[in-house]
Homo-oligomer: A and B are copies of this chain.
């Protein structure tokens, strides 16, 4: 499967008084990219919740911050699925400036499939597994 690319523009809301993107906000950028990744496969998370009773929840994050992004930067989030199991998957996500290859930060993010009511692990819906493979 190929990488999924998603553009991000840095606005004032994303930055802090050190003049750079606030560290936790890279996780917002990465989550936007995962949402769009899943959408690109044909799945809407609000529908998955209503119709299948499934929510995807982050369980583990390993994040390395190499260089800061700044206000007005045009970024790109490069996402790929590194590992796919019955109830969870691990995304590898790298952020770099458009037109620069050097990564600003990168993360491995484990997402689990949960029953939306019981908040317990549940098999990822087969159609999604199929689409990812």
Interface set of A (CB-CB < 8 Å, partner B): 9, 11-13, 15-20, 22-25, 27-28, 31-32, 35, 44-46, 55, 57-65, 68, 70-72, 116, 119
Query: Is B18's CB under 8 angstroms from A31's CB?
Result: no
* Chain B residues within 8 Å of A28, by CB: 11, 13, 24
Query: Is B72's CB under 8 angstroms from A64's CB?
Result: no
Q: Which of B31, B61, B71 contacts A12 (CB 8 A)?
A: B31
How far does the alpha carbon of A29 sit from the alpha carbon of B68 in the complex, in Å? 21
Query: Is B12's CB under 8 angstroms from A16's CB?
Result: yes
Query: Is B64's CB under 8 angstroms from A63's CB?
Result: no
* Chain B residues within 8 Å of A58, by CB: 23, 65
Query: Would you give 18 A-B contacts (Cβ < 8 Å), ordered by A?
Result: A11-B28, A11-B32, A12-B18, A12-B35, A13-B16, A13-B22, A13-B28, A15-B16, A17-B70, A19-B19, A23-B31, A23-B61, A24-B28, A45-B72, A46-B72, A59-B64, A61-B61, A63-B63
